[in-house]
Chains A and B, each alone.
Chain A
Amino acid sequence: MASDLFIVIVGCGRLGSHLANQLSRAGHGAVVIDLAEKAFANLSAEYSGFSVEGDATELAVLQQAKVGKADIVIATTRDDNVNLMVAQVARAEFHVPRVLARVFEPRRKPIYRRLGIETVCPTSVAAELFLESIAAPLTLENRP
């Protein structure tokens, strides 16, 4: 990954803030958007990006965060519908080259794919990890 991308992250919860902290530390320019100002408390002291308080489903808020200049947009809110909408607007309206979204409902994945949006599904990821763990025999090392 090039070392100074401009990345807009929607949602500053546990996932969003974690991503923002990591990406900022790696030297990228970052902006996080969240409805609640107190969410920005999740950002670490070394976070060198920006924060925008507002509703990311509003065009004006996305403009304020300069989504139009973004190399990557990541939608991480807890609401699949919000993520889908923001991701779609980022693709269609702002022509962002790479758009990723968190999607809880695995069945929705094909819809996103058709729209040119990459997805990460925590449900599938967690399920796979559980299955892997179950399949592995319990040994001394992996005993809880």
Chain B
Amino acid sequence: MEAPERGKPVLIVDDEKNIRLTLSQALEALALDIDTAVNGEEALAKLKEKPARLVLLDLKMPGMDGMEVLRRIRKSRSPARVIIITAHGTIESAVEAMKLGAVDFIQKPFAPKEIRAMVTKVLDREALAAENAGSYEEHIELAKKSIGQQEFGAAAKRVRQAIAADATKPEAFNLLGVLMEMDGNKLEAQKDYRAALALDPTYKPAQENLGRTTGLTSGGQMSMGGTVNKPCRKE
């Protein structure tokens, strides 16, 4: 996965020098661009000048506090994700901040590994969201195309993206089941067929697939619903 929008920094906002230092040191290993601000005003000025990918924001700061900074970031419709830094025992304010749109929070003191794990998680989510930009139908279409080309790994990825885009339609789950079955994982496949049927009990392809794999109906081919240039066999 290529780094999306390189050059946009991670902005660390904390009035305490040791926190800024700890965070920058911990994130060094991730090869991210890092910028720091010592208070809310500076943070907003920096964000105005150059948008950030991610903001690590301390809630308790003299002058403008983190909550106000968060409010203003949201008001400015900045796309930056915000992770809140809180002191021990102040979960309530962290929850309050998440209601205002922060994606996660981390409690002091933190271990370098912990910080990296959280930042990686949030940035990966962002990358995934960018990749997921596509409609359910497009993902399904591309999944079927991949199956047609016997590229089952790519197909599975597309199916998952389709599910992420719309988890209320049965077709994606049925396709996931088909892929599982091709992979020899019959039990997983049946779970997926059942998931498809739970969403729509009248969805024929999943009925057929579940019937066939549980031996209730004999014979038949895997049913993917709609048109596919039938390969249905793993080499």
Distance between Cα atoms of A143 and B69 in the complex (Å): 63
Chain A residues with CB below 8 A from B4, complex form: none
Which chain B residues (24-56) contact chain A, with CB distance < 8 Å? Answer: 25-26, 29
What 0/1 pattern do residues 92 to 132 of B give for CB contact below 8 A with A? 00000000000000001111111000000000000000000
**Nearest chain B residue, comparing its CB with the CB of A65:** B109
Which chain A residues (2-60) contact chain B, with CB distance < 8 Å? Answer: 4, 6, 27, 29, 31, 47-50, 52
Residues of B within 8 A of A (CB): 17-18, 21-22, 25-26, 29, 88-89, 108-114
Chain A residues with CB below 8 A from B89, complex form: 64
Question: Which residue of B26, B88, B109 has the most chain A CB atoms within 10 A of its CB atom?
Answer: B109
Whether A70 is near chain B, meaning CB under 8 Å from some CB there, is yes
Distance between Cα atoms of A27 and B114 in the complex (Å): 15
Q: Are A69 and B111 in contact (CB under 8 A)?
A: yes
Minimal beta-carbon separation of B40 from chain A (angstroms): 22
Q: Are A69 and B22 in contact (CB under 8 A)?
A: no
Q: Are B109 and A4 in contact (CB under 8 A)?
A: no
What 0/1 pattern do residues 62 to 93 of A give for CB contact below 8 A with B? 00111001100000000000000000000000
Q: Are A4 and B88 in contact (CB under 8 A)?
A: no
Chain A contact-residue range equals 10 to 19
Minimal beta-carbon separation of A138 from chain B (angstroms): 46
Minimal beta-carbon separation of B111 from chain A (angstroms): 4
Q: Are A4 and B21 in contact (CB under 8 A)?
A: no
Q: From known contacts A27-B25, A29-B26, A48-B25, infer whether A66 and B18 are also in contact, taking CB-CB under 8 Å.
A: no
Question: Which residue of A27, A47, A66 has the most chain B CB atoms within 10 A of its CB atom?
Answer: A66
Q: Are A50 and B109 in contact (CB under 8 A)?
A: yes
**Nearest chain A residue, comparing its CB with the CB of B17:** A48
Q: Are A48 and B113 in contact (CB under 8 A)?
A: no
Q: From known contacts A4-B26, A29-B22, infer whether A69 and B114 are also in contact, taking CB-CB under 8 Å.
A: yes
Chain A residues with CB below 8 A from B25, complex form: 4, 27, 48
**Nearest chain A residue, comparing its CB with the CB of B23:** A48
Chain A residues with CB below 8 A from B114, complex form: 6, 66, 69
Minimal beta-carbon separation of B91 from chain A (angstroms): 13
Q: Are B109 and A31 in contact (CB under 8 A)?
A: yes
A-B residue pairs, 4 tightest by C-beta = A50-B109, A6-B111, A48-B21, A48-B18
